[in-house]
Amino acid sequence: MSRILVVEDEAIIRQSVRRLLQRHNFEVTDVDSIDAAREHKLPEYDLVITDLRLPGGQGTDLIELAGSTPVLIMTSYASLRSAVDAMKMGAVEYIAKPFDHTELVEAVKKILAQPRIDPAARMNEAQADSQASPAAAAATNSGASKPADQNGNGIIGSCDAMQALFRKINKVAPTDATVLIHGESGTGKELVARALHEQSRRQGAQLISVNCAAIPETLLESELFGHEKGAFTGAAAQRQGLVEAANGGTLFLDEIGELPLEAQARLLRVLQESEIRRVGAVQSIKVDVRLIAATHRNLKEMAANGEFREDLYYRLNVVELTLPPLRDRGEDVVELANYMLARACQRMNQPPMQFDAFAVNAIRQYQWPGNVRELENAVERAVILADDDEISADLLGIDLSPDRYISEAMRENLVDNNNAPEPESNPQQAQGDLSLDDYFVHFVLDNESRMTETDLARKLGISRKSLWERRQRLGIPRKKK
């Protein structure tokens, strides 16, 4: 019988997981904190299931303590970025709460059926295969076709800003120049780093990606530069750092603006002298690494404020590539949405779907503060919730303003494009001066005799509940059939 340790601070979830696993003949021990988990000999268990955020630390803190015992991370802080970071640190799997019981049991059985792998090897594999990041996943070449990827780098984008970016990538990639990628969170910085690596002379070597914000500050120097045996408490053996592991290849440092000043000084030496010194070591080691860094912060301003080393900033900023936010990329957002929709349908074994005209207009008008990552999540959620092959604006779950989108839709005759006749209107109304309520009343009264409530709601880009509530407010009772 396999032994499983469950680490979860919420009692209801912890007890639910324990009972679920016990029903499937697993021997389960459950604790509520990192400190309580440390009291157990983790390597003696067959699997550790832990929440990501716990009293006393992060669930990923248990990965090293678990040794070869696989660690499955579960969290309500669900995002693909959290998944990538957890996998980079050696987790074997990631599951988001709330999860389906069958999904959890199947994940557990799958993990237990696999041979145990050293966590360091698992971490290196995840870092070298980091295209699973959300921004990269939005434009990777798995599954669906890539209609806009005419540059061979896996990035989708047809606007002028993206075309200019592609030209810069093609110029700088064959060189060993250090590159600083700037862009908002979720714009695809890691995908640009991969494109630079795969078009360089180092493409046969590893690309190792490190999220500087995901590694605790106390462990960061050891993770990047390695350590000697006995260098500090817990350093039971010599360990190679990630910079050294990238020797001959490319090192991508994401969120470099979060790097502590002490680590910045060490990194500066790597750029200046092409050498590193492990924590606790006396001798330096020569390395041949191309460095690509990324940030969403203004490093020049940080340097002026003493928050970032000015000499390191100028060493990093040999070539700067800027990724535009999704809201500034024009029709790229629709192109990306259609690509993601096709890919999500294929991944979930769903028949092909399409956005209705109101949804397309909402996608165009929404600001997408989370950029490509937010768009991908919205599309995936819509595919899951859709009842048929058409995606409405309501299913996207974004913060829409009905007055803004429906008025725009009316001006563009989107209702007519969906084979629904426009209500009769006077010349002033034909110029797009109808209020939202006027438009709603006219549209419902003209179409309710031949359309269902579901069809009416879909054409208006709202939910059935919103349709009912607006009927009540405006005094438009449903006609009895």
Confidence of residue 442 (pLDDT cuts 50, 70, 90): confident
d(CA 13, CA 10): 6
> What is the C-alpha R_g of the chain?
26
8 A C-beta contact, residue 340 and residue 353: no
Q: Which residue has the tokens 């996943």?
A: 137
Domain positions in the chain are: 3-121, 159-324, 330-474
8 A C-beta contact, residue 464 and residue 453: yes
pLDDT in the model for residue 120 = 56
pLDDT in the model for residue 403 = 42
pLDDT digits (tens, 9 = 90+) for 383-439: 999 888 899 888 888 754 444 444 343 434 334 434 444 444 343 333 344 456 666
305, exposed or middle or buried, with CB in 10 Å at 0-12, 13-18, 19+?
Answer: exposed
- Topology at the third CATH level for domain 330-474: Helicase, Ruva Protein; domain 3 (1.10.8)
8 A C-beta contact, residue 129 and residue 148: no
Classified as helix, coil or strand, 299 is helix
Mean pLDDT on 20-27: 91
User: What would the two tokens of residue 398 be?
Assistant: 């974004």
More confident residue, 235 or 312: 312
| pLDDT of residue 168 exceeding 90 | yes
pLDDT digits (tens, 9 = 90+) for 132-164: 333 333 333 333 333 445 455 568 888 889 999
d(CA 367, CA 363): 9
d(CA 246, CA 223): 12
What one-character-per-residue DSSP string does 221-284 give? HHHHH-B-TTSSTT--S-B--HHHHTTTSEEEEETGGG--HHHHHHHHHHHHHSEE--BT-SS-
8 A C-beta contact, residue 135 and residue 83: no
Instruction: Give the pairing type, strands 285-286 and 71-75.
Output: unpaired
Domain 159-324 in the same topology as domain 3-121: yes
Identify the CA nearest to 54 among candidates 71, 70, 74, 39.
74
8 A C-beta contact, residue 51 and residue 31: no
Phi then psi dihedrals of residue 393, to 5 deg: -60, -35
pLDDT digits (tens, 9 = 90+) for 297-322: 999 999 999 999 999 999 999 999 99
Q: Model pTM?
A: 0.54
User: Which CATH superfamily groups domain 159-324?
Assistant: P-loop containing nucleotide triphosphate hydrolases (3.40.50.300)
pLDDT in the model for residue 480 = 59
Residues in CB range of 138: below 8 A, 6 or more apart: 156, 188, 191, 336, 340, 372, 373, 375, 376
d(CA 248, CA 245): 9
Mean pLDDT on 164-172: 92
Instruction: Give the pairing type, strands 275-276 and 250-254.
Output: unpaired
8 A C-beta contact, residue 62 and residue 85: no
* Proportion of the chain above pLDDT 70, given as a percent: 79
Question: Which CATH architecture describes the domain 3-121?
Answer: 3-Layer(aba) Sandwich (3.40)
Confidence of residue 85 (pLDDT cuts 50, 70, 90): low
Phi then psi dihedrals of residue 218, to 5 deg: -70, -20
d(CA 460, CA 392): 9
Phi then psi dihedrals of residue 102, to 5 deg: -65, -40
